[in-house]
């Protein structure tokens, strides 16, 4: 009986080894296609990355347009005592100047930053004027606009600024 059990175990072991031996060449054959599949996967990944990059580039353009639109939607009327929120680098705020007169503007965190907006009838009509805030200064010391003009200030500094009216 022991011999039969031993023979049975030995036969099972031989069959297992034979089966493993047969799988080995198959594994070698599938290794090359797997390498090709991996290369294809790398190519597909690259294509997906390129597509994603193109999509991101396409997505960025509308985002830039959208970034300008909220400023127009959030445009406040210029009047004494009003102020924008603090603007981080790249952020913008806008005010529409409907009334004629002189508007003194400053930055609350940096009161030395000042500018004047003169609103006069008969001045060349412009819908929107953009002014940068950079190097702790407004891009213009004095500007003259017609009633109804919107001025958009964009902070280019790494520190926060705002637009406030005296």
Q: Extract the tokens encoding 44.
A: 């597909």
C-alpha 105/C-alpha 128 separation (Å) is 17
pLDDT of the residue at 125: 84
pLDDT tens, residue by residue, 121-158: 988 888 999 999 999 999 999 999 999 999 999 999 99
pLDDT of the residue at 37: 47
| pTM score, whole prediction | 0.56
C-alpha 166/C-alpha 150 separation (Å) is 18
Q: Extract the tokens encoding 46.
A: 């690259």
Write the DSSP string, 74-116.
Answer: TPEEP-TT-BPPPB-TT-EEEEEE-S-EEEEEE-SS-TT-EEE
Q: Which residues pair with 162 in a beta bridge?
A: none
pLDDT of the residue at 9: 75
pLDDT of the residue at 4: 65
C-alpha 129/C-alpha 114 separation (Å) is 17
Closest CA to 113 of 121, 102, 104: 104
pLDDT of the residue at 86: 95
pLDDT tens, residue by residue, 20-79: 555 444 444 444 454 444 444 444 444 444 444 444 444 444 444 434 444 445 788 998
């Amino acid at each position: 009986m022991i011999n039969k059990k031993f023979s049975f175990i030995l036969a099972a072991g031989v069959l297992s080894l034979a089966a493993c031996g047969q799988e080995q060449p198959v594994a070698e054959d599938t290794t090359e296609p797997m390498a090709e599949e991996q290369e294809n996967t790398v190519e597909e990944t690259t294509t997906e990355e390129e597509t994603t990059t193109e999509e991101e580039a396409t997505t960025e353009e509308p985002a830039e347009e959208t970034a300008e639109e909220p400023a127009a939607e959030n445009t406040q009327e210029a009047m004494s005592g009003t102020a924008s929120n603090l603007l981080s680098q790249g952020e913008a705020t806008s005010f529409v100047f409907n009334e004629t007169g002189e508007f003194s503007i400053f930055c609350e965190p940096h009161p030395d930053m000042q500018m004047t907006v003169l609103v006069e009838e008969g001045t060349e009509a412009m819908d929107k004027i953009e002014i940068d805030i950079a190097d702790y200064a407004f891009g213009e010391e004095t500007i003259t606009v017609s009633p109804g003009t919107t001025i958009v200030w964009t902070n280019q500094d790494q520190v926060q600024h705002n637009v406030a009216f005296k």
